[in-house]
Amino acid sequence: MSPRPEPSATRRSVLASGAGVAVAGAAAGLTYAGRPSSAAAHQSSSGTDATGGTGRAADEPVPFRGEHQAGIVTPAQDRMHFVALDVVTTDPAELSLLLKEWTRAAERMTYGAEATPGGVVGGGPHRPPTDTGEALDLPPSNLTITIGYGPSLFDGRFGLAGRRPEALRELPGFTGDDLDPARTGGDLCIQACADDPQVAVHAVRNLIRIGFGVISVRWSQLGFGRTSSTSTSQATPRNLFGFKDGTANIKAEDGAALAEHVWVDPADVPGDAAWMAGGSYLVARRIRMHVEVWDRTPLQEQEDIFGRDKAVGASLHLPADRRDENAPLDFAAKGVDGQPRIPLTSHVRLAHESQLDGIRILRRGYNFTDGSDGSGHLDAGLFFLAFVRDAHRQFVPMQQALAKSDKLNEYIEHTGSALFAVPPGLGDGEDWGVQLFGA
Amino acid sequence: MTRRALALTLVPATFALAACGGGSDATSSAGTKGPITVTASDTACDVARTEAPAGQIEFTVSNKGSKVNEFYVYAAGDRIMGEVENIAPGLTRTFHVEVAEPGTYETACKPGMVGKGIRSDFTVTGASAAPQSDDAKVTAATTSYARYVASQADALLARTTEFVGLVKAGKVEQAKALYPVARSYWERIEPVAESFGDLDPKIDGREDVVEDGMAFTGYHRLEQDLWVKGLQGDSAAIADQLLADVTTIVAEAKKVEFNGLQLANGSKALLDEMATGKITGEEERYSHTDLWDFAANWDGSKGAIAALRPVLEERDAALVASYDKRAAALDALVAKHQKGDGYQLYTELTPIEVRALSDALDAVAEDVAKVAGVVANP
């Protein structure tokens, strides 16, 4: 006869009340602007920054609760695992319960804890472990878990049609799109970012595991290296074309720009859509890059296509001895041939706010390679992620301009696409289920 | 034939836990009444009493530290007897843990929710407080399942005899029609049949067995002959050998005595088969009758769970309720693919239909995976 452990189902159903989780206390009065400064404090207390520029020690968790979800203005971590999911149940109660269970597991894993207490071995020899175990003993690694909801979730299956924010509607098609249905759309998404890829994959895997019977994986993307900086504390990384991308990104420290371009204002979401106030919209685009063709392109042409120099990422109008990545772009400057020094079809010009009525976005993308394509080439590219206040007013006009004229289009193809509403952060005691469905 | 060995291993129905061997003396004192106070901080875990009589033990845990804390009672191997989580700084939580067996356990506070925690030994004294488990229900379940296996084994032999006769008579179309039917009885009791190691690859091996230096024989060799190559000179001999091997395995299968854990693990092994071999369309690579196997594996899994049902209803009604719902969903999907007396060919399924089957299978498998734990821990 053996003693009886708590059944795992019971353990799992003892959901986080969330009451007074330590960081939540700190986060209660925390605005997003408070985060980078606290991150900076961690950095100074730990002495060195060993985390690829996220400015936070590996064993110091990123706060899970707060005004906005983590994983947006959190200094971009080095690795990402992103998954889009379909809901397979027809029962709203099951979905709501799953969102509650996810909240608890996500908060635990953000701390570096097992998805469930004692989940790796605590269930004894005859039960399948309730945590898969590959992140046991690893530090939190700046893990953030960010949830989002696709337009299809609000189609009436779950009684959510009335709660759909007006801006959450499918993206239009763009010239040159080659979207694979198997990499497009989804009822839900989970973005897990961490400085250790094992930690990010563990988080996604365990959330999927908890969801069997309620959700099913639609598509999934690994990103091995960040392509954006979301804090002034970070250097601008390079994409697989070798260029610094997103120098002009919105940064965590720029509160006015975030309020204008990233966070959904209460006035944007009146009535039953008010749950989205303080949230953001996430645009995901899987952009295949034909790196082999690019690599045969002369340097001058590469630089003209981007509109920046390759070595430091400076505007092309600057002379070689005065190149500075952060110097303003001078679109009026002309070369000796009388043509604009930053070409009219260059990526940086077409995507710049001055050409787009002031539109800006917060980029948070990742480089990927998904093996090879069977034709002797890498299946590589950029998993573009952007957070915006309204995708139809920001991403859509920007992408229309790029799709029409960007010289880069000769070397890239958009092969996947999705739009998600990313709800605001959770306060003490709140969970994603109650937040989405209402109390 | 499985890629992985899924044969039932003999798992003892009862298992001894190291913690149970304590043999500690019951020393009752006035101090053993009432809840045990635990004072937790970021660096300490003071448990007011480290001994309690077997039965329900109440702890009151106060978090005086600055980090979220958790409190655990562990048996050997860090198996959790009880835990209370999410104790915020300043909060006090009370919880009860049922420890039926005397012995040595461990308590742990886990400031910050990570790591091994701050541990202390905890002794449970006195006589076992375990309720007498209803082993009669488990015994009835194993007896019931043995009857199921015997009935399927008999049908397997009868249908295989018929199939072999048709092959030897050169009646290709009739043999092809009977092939998936005969195999259904095999697939329903596959974990049992596979436990006879040498015979399984001879009966159910795919062409890849050649890689292991074995001859390609059995059902799948005849499948290849019937659907692809036409009957060969040795097809009749292969058929005779199949019948001889099936006759042997049927006799062996009917002699097997089961325990509760074997039923639980067998019901899960059948779902694993479906997930790794059938939903992928690789088992029946010439006839594409994989859905017959899929449905038969599913029947077999349900057979084992049906036998255990009285045990499960008594011990974990919520699990049974979830299983019933998910099993009904898979039943409905399988039914959609019925065609005549059988099923659609795998090649007739769309990727969306395959995914729907896979989703429903994943869901019910999560529940079936929990059955062994329920059977092992009354």
Can you give the pLDDT at residue B378? Answer: 60
Radius of gyration of chain A (CA): 22
Whole-Å CA distances, A200 to A129, A221, A377: 19, 11, 27
Among candidate residues B68, B94, B125, the one where a domain is terminated: B125
B149, B118: one domain: no
Range of the domain at B38: 24-125
Strands B51-53 and A378-388: unpaired
Query: Domain total for chain B?
Result: 2
- Does B196 share its domain with B150? yes
Q: Which positions in chain B touch A126 (Cβ < 8 Å)?
A: 261, 372-373, 375-377
User: How near does any CA of chain B get to the CA of A303, in Å?
Assistant: 43
Q: Could you tell me if A220 lies within 8 Å of chain B, comparing CB atoms?
A: no
* In a domain? residue B355: yes
* Cβ-Cβ contacts under 8 Å, A18 against chain B: 86
Output the CA torsion B244→B248→B251→B252 (10° steps).
-160
Full set of structural domains in chain A with CATH: 79-307+343-422 (3.30.70.3420)
Query: At A191, phi and psi to the nearest 5?
Result: -105, 120
Please tell me whether residues B290 and B247 are part of one structural domain. Answer: yes
Whole-number average pLDDT of chain B: 88
B45 and B191, same domain (yes or no): no
Q: Does A296 touch chain B (CB under 8 A)?
A: no
pLDDT at position A292 is 96
Residues B220 and B259 in one domain: yes
Beta-carbon separation of A111 and B113 below 8 A: yes
Helix, coil or strand: residue A61: coil
Q: Which helix (H) or strand (E) holds B19?
A: none
Do B277 and B215 fall within a single domain?
Answer: yes
In a domain, B4, yes or no: no
Residue of A nearest to B360 (CA): A213
- Asked if the Cβ–Cβ distance from A9 to B319 is below 8 Å, we say yes
Centroid of chain to Cα A424: 14
B307 and B278 fall within a common domain:
yes
Smallest CA-to-CA distance from B26 within B60, B57, B54 is with: B54
Query: Among candidates A221, A223, A252, A247, which has minimal Cα distance to A235?
Result: A247
Contacts of B374 in chain A (CB under 8 A): 7
Q: Is A5 on the interface with B (CB under 8 A)?
A: yes
pLDDT at A29 over 90: no
* Final residue before a domain boundary, out of B67, B90, B125: B125
Q: Nearest Cβ partner of B377 from A4, A14, A214?
A: A4
- Phi and psi at residue A259, to the nearest 5°: -65, -35
In angstroms, rounded to a whole number, what is the distance separating the alpha carbons of residues A314 and B64?
Answer: 54
- Do B36 and B116 share a domain, yes or no? yes
Chain B positions in Cβ-Cβ contact with residue A127 (cut-off 8 Å): 369-370, 372-373
In the prediction, which pLDDT does A248 show?
A: 86
- In degrees, rounded to 5, the angle at the alpha carbon of residue B114 between the alpha carbons of residues B109 and B116 is 60
Q: Is the pLDDT of residue B7 over 90?
A: no
- DSSP structure string for B256-269: ----HHHHHHHHHH
Q: How far apart are CA B24 and CA B233, in angstroms?
A: 73
Q: Which of B121, B265, B115, B368 is nearest to A120 (CA)?
A: B115
Residue B108 lies in a domain: yes
Would you say B314 and B378 are in contact if contact means Cβ atoms under 8 Å apart? no
- Quick one: pLDDT at residue B376? 85
In-domain check, residue B115: yes
Which CATH number covers residue B99? 2.60.40.420
Task: Look at residue B204 and tell me if it is in a domain.
Answer: yes
**Cβ(A262)–Cβ(A273) under 8 Å?**
no
State the pLDDT confidence band at A21, using cuts at 50, 70 and 90: very low
A412-422 and A378-388 beta bridge pairing: unpaired
The reported pLDDT for the residue numbered B377 is: 74
Q: Write down the mean pLDDT value for chain A.
A: 88
B19 assigned to some structural domain: no
DSSP-derived pairing of the beta strands B36-40 and B55-63: parallel
Place of tokens 């039932």: B8
* B377 contacts A124? CB cut-off 8 A: yes
> Measuring CA to CA, which residue among A360, A352, A384, A171 is closest to residue A285?
A384
**Residue A238: DSSP 8-state:** B
A52 interface with B at CB cutoff 8 Å:
no
DSSP letters for A346-384: -HHHHTSGGGTTT---EE--EEEEEEE-SSSSEEEEEEE
State pLDDT tens for residues A294-347: 999 999 999 999 999 999 999 999 998 899 999 999 999 998 899 999 999 999
Please report where in the chains the tokens 């109390």 appear, as a residue. A439
Distance CA A167, CA A151 (A): 9
Verify that B171 and B216 share a domain, yes or no. yes
* Closest by Cα among A298, A276, A292, A322 to A436: A276
Average confidence (pLDDT) over B151-172: 96
Domain boundary among B125, B143, B159: B125
Residue B31's pLDDT band, with cuts at 50, 70 and 90, is: low
CATH of the domain at B158: 1.20.1420.20
Residues in Cβ contact with B376 at an 8 Å cutoff, skipping those fewer than 6 apart: A2, A124, A125, A126, B15, B260, B261, B264
Q: Within a domain: residue B13?
A: no
Are B159 and B261 in the same domain? Answer: yes
Predicted ipTM of the assembly: 0.81
What's the whole-model pTM score? 0.85
Q: Are A108 and B113 inside 8 Å of each other by CB?
A: yes
The 10 Å Cβ neighbour count of residue A435 is 22
Q: Residue B247 falls within a domain, yes or no?
A: yes
Whether residue B280 is found in the same domain as residue B335: yes
Same-domain pairing of B190 and B321: yes
Structure confidence at residue B9 (pLDDT): 40
Model confidence pLDDT, tens digit, residues A220-261: 999 999 999 999 889 999 999 999 988 889 999 999 999 999
What are the helix (H) ranges across A241-298? 255-261, 291-294
